[in-house]
Amino acid sequence: MNETQTLVMVGTRGPVSAVLLQPDDARLLYVLGHGAGAGMRHPFMERVATDLADRGIATFRYQFPYMEAGRRSPDPPSVLQETVRAAIAAAHQRVPDLALIAGGKSMGGRISSHVAADDPPAELSGLVFLGYPLHAPKKPAVKRAEHLSQIHTPMLFLQGTRDDLADLTLLTPIVDQLGSNATMHIVKGGNHSFKVLKRSGRTEDEVMAELADVVQGWGTDLMKGNAATD
């Protein structure tokens, strides 16, 4: 597989770093945004990219401007959304022949969902959320899901049962209300980073493989659906 480091121009704000990991047999391209507290080179992000590459899914990871500059506080929502749009455009320009999905870990996924709800890029075929952050830690609320009904591309939610940023008793009915447009996969015992307790008897490798397998299966069905409508 080939890893290519590149830059994404975010309007007048200048470039941010990005990396394209493309296996030779790639069938799908995932524009993968990082969470609020860690950048695109975080071990979780690296592992997701590698495991997906093993399953024929290319990834385009990128930094948000605040992370690129070494700041802790995330950029304003408008800047975050501008970055997602720029990353999607850059990824599609580099690999125009692959169907493109977007999303990412926590904040990266949530910001991508706003882009899809407000004015979706033409090349966007779906969204994958690796731990959708429905609310602040241990402060159940549903406001962060109000826009999801405005999204018309298929969505995949991967959520852990111990995620303190997503009370499943709140998120499950929201996903159900989205109908056939949304799918949720529950990772038993996983927290917001999909880590499981030792007493679960499961290893990190097994959990990460589960995530990658689910994305691969969902992506295969997505591409079959796209082919049927062409």
Residues 6+ apart with CB under 8 A from 48: 32, 59, 105, 130, 208, 211, 212
Of 115, 100, 108, 101, the C-alpha closest to 150 is: 115
163 with 190: CB under 8 angstroms?
A: yes
Q: Tell me the pTM.
A: 0.96
Lowest mean pLDDT among 4-13, 53-62, 109-118, 180-189: 4-13
pLDDT attached to residue 110: 98
DSSP-assigned letters across all residues of 73-103: SPPPHHHHHHHHHHHHHHHHHHSTTSEEEEE
Strands ordered across the beta sheet of 28-33: 2-9, 15-22, 57-62, 28-33, 99-105, 124-130, 155-160, 182-187
DSSP-assigned letters across all residues of the chain: -EEEEEEEE-GGG-EEEEEEEE-TT--EEEEEE--TTS-TTSHHHHHHHHHHHTTTEEEEEE--HHHHTT-SSPPPHHHHHHHHHHHHHHHHHHSTTSEEEEEEETHHHHHHHHHHHHS--TTEEEEEEES---SSTT----GGGTTGGG--S-EEEEEETT-TTS-HHHHHHHHHHTGGGEEEEEETT--TT----GGG---HHHHHHHHHHHHHHHHHHHHHHHHHH-
Mean pLDDT of the chain: 96
pLDDT attached to residue 13: 80
pLDDT attached to residue 177: 97
Buried b (16+ CB within 10 A) or exposed e, 140-159: eeeebbeebeebebbbbbbb
Condensed to tens digits (0 to 9), the pLDDT of residues 62-71 reads 999 999 999 9
pLDDT attached to residue 229: 66
Q: Give the domain range for residue 195.
A: 2-229
pLDDT attached to residue 150: 98
| Total tally of structural domains belonging to the chain | 1
Mean pLDDT of 155-170: 98
Confidence of residue 138 (pLDDT cuts 50, 70, 90): confident
Confidence of residue 230 (pLDDT cuts 50, 70, 90): low
CA 208/CA 204 separation, integer angstroms: 6
74 with 37: CB under 8 angstroms?
A: no
Query: What CATH code is carried by the domain that includes residue 80?
Result: 3.40.50.1820
pLDDT attached to residue 225: 83
